[in-house]
Amino acid sequence: MRLEILPVLGIGHVTEGDDLAALIAGAAPWLRDGDVLVVTSKIVSKAEGRLVDVPADGPERLAARDEVLASETARVVASRGPTRIVQTHHGFVMASAGIDASNVDKTRLVLLPVDPDASARALRAALRARYDLDLAVIITDTMGRPWRNGLTDVALGVAGMPAIRDHRGEVDPYGNELQLTQMAVVDELAGAGELIKGKCDQVPVAVVRGYLSATSPDDSAGAQALVRDAAQDLFSLGTAEARAAGLADAATLTDAPGPTPADPAAARRAIDAVAGVVAPGTVFTLVDEADVRAGLIAKVPGWPDGATALVLGSPPAPVDPMDLVRFGADLHRLQVALAAEGVGSTVLPPPAGSPASATLAL
C-alpha cells in the first residue's frame, strides 16, 4: 500500500451557514473517487452554528465556560483542579467536552457537532450528489490519551468506510489465529491527516489517497463503533472518582438487606476479611438463621422485612469516646466487606441499655 496525504488549501474562514461541500470541492478540484476526506470538526461546528458567545476575559468568562461545559457533559470522569475530563453526550471521553477557544474570536467558544456521524454522512452525500465524487469522510478532533503525553487527532464521525478493521479470525504468518485484533483505522487516518493540517496553518481539511480501493455503501454505526460500552470499560473513572464511587456503591448496597436470604458463609468471609484491621478488642459475632428463628427476632428492635441473620458488634471495653469513633469506622469496614460479598446489611437501633453495641441485620 502506498499512501499520499494531501492538504486542501484555500478554504479560508468558515462561518455559520457556509456550504462545506462547495468550499471543499472548490478548493480541491483534484479530488477523486476513493479519497478519504479528513475534516477538522471545528469547521463543521462553525458551519452548523455550534458556537456560543462568552465574555472575552475575567471571571465572567470562566463562569460562562463552566456553564457551557456542564451542558455538554454527560458525566465527569476525572477532575483535578481546573481540568475536567468528561464524557460528552456523544459518548466521547475528552478534556472539557471538546469545547475549543482556539482559531475563533475571543468572545466565542466552539462546541463539537451535535452528531458528527450525521455531519459526515451529509457532507459525503452532498459531494456525491453535486460533484459526482464517491469519497469517504472522517470528521476529527484532537484528544489526549490515558497514560501517554501529547495529543493526536481521532475520528468523531465517519461515512463511507467502517470505523474499525476487524482482523479476528485471520491467521498471522506464524499460523496464529487473531482473536482480539480490531484496528481503529479511522483514528489512524485522522492522525495521518493532522500531520498535514497542523494547528496554526489554517488547513482544516486533508485528503488521504491510496488507502481505500472502494468506499463502503453502508455507513453502519459510524464512529460510534469506537465508543467502548460501559460494561466493558475497565477504566471508566479517574482514581479518586473510582474510589468515591466504590464507597458510594458500598453505601447503597448496605442500605437494606439483600433480596435473598444472607449466605452465612459469605457473612463469615466478610468478618474474617476485616479481622486484621479492626481496633483491638472489637468483636463481630455472626448469629445465623437458626438462632434468629429460635426467637431472637422478637428481641431486636427495627427488624426489617427480608432479613434472616445478624452480626452483633461490640467495641473494646471499657468504652471511651475515641473507642466509639474507631468502632464506627470498624462497623463501616464490615459493611463494605459484606457488600463485596454481595450481602446487604442495615444497622439497627441499639438494644436498650447498650448504646455502645451495634447490630447489623443481613
For the segment 10-68, what is each residue's pLDDT rounded down to a tens digit?
A: 998 899 999 999 999 999 999 999 999 999 999 999 999 999 988 888 888 888 888 99
Average pLDDT over residues 243-268: 60
In a domain, 185, yes or no: yes
- Same domain for 261 and 212: no
Regarding whether 319 and 229 lie in a shared domain, the answer is no
For 166-175, the pLDDT digits (tens) are 777 787 788 8
Res 79 pLDDT > 90: no
Q: How far is residue 224 from each of residues 54, 154, 339, measured CA to CA in Å?
A: 30, 12, 35
The rounded mean pLDDT for the chain is: 84
Looking at the fold, whether 283 and 350 belong to one and the same domain comes out as: yes
Residues 196 and 301 in one domain: no
Q: Could you give the angle at which helices 321-340 and 264-274 cross, rounded to 10 degrees?
A: 130
Among 136-140, 240-244, 259-263, name the most confident range. 136-140
> Which domain, by its residues, includes 318?
253-361
Compute how many other C-beta atoms are within 10 angstroms of the C-beta atom of residue 270.
26
Q: How far apart are CA 13 and CA 29, in angstroms?
A: 19
Kindly tell me if the per-residue pLDDT of 239 is higher than 70: yes
173 and 228 belong to one structural domain? yes
Residue 229 and residue 262 share a domain: no
CATH number at residue 301: 3.40.109.10
Please tell me the total count of domains within the chain. 2
Could you tell me how many helices (H) and strands (E) the chain has, helices first? 9, 16
Rg (CA), the chain: 30
Both 139 and 209 in a single domain? yes
pLDDT given at position 101: 86
Residue 25 and residue 150 in one domain: yes
pTM of the model: 0.70
Q: How far apart are CA 79 and CA 48, in angstroms?
A: 30
Asked, for residue 40, whether it belongs to a domain, the answer is: yes
Q: Is 44 helix (H, G, I), strand (E, B) or coil?
A: helix
In a domain, 248, yes or no: no
321 in any annotated domain:
yes
Q: 168, exposed or middle or buried, with CB in 10 Å at 0-12, 13-18, 19+?
A: exposed
Q: Are both 18 and 120 inside the same structural domain?
A: yes
The answer to whether residue 60 sits within a structural domain is yes
CA distance 231 to 39: 31
CB 279 within 8 A of CB 326: yes
Q: What region, left, alpha or beta, does residue 298 occupy, with left being phi > 0 and alpha being psi -120 to 50 degrees?
A: alpha
CB under 8 Å to 268, separation ≥6 — which residues?
Answer: 286
Question: Is 246 inside a domain boundary?
Answer: no
pLDDT-derived band at 299, boundaries 50, 70, 90: low
pLDDT at 255 over 50: no
CA 312 to CA 309: how far, in whole Å? 10
> What does DSSP say about strands 283-287 and 310-314: parallel, antiparallel, or unpaired?
antiparallel
Torsion of CA 338, 343, 349, 353, to 10 degrees: -60
Q: Which of 140-144, 183-187, 250-254 has the lowest mean pLDDT?
A: 250-254
Q: Looking at the structure, tell me whether residues 106 and 180 fall in a common domain.
A: yes
Q: Residue 107 falls within a domain, yes or no?
A: yes
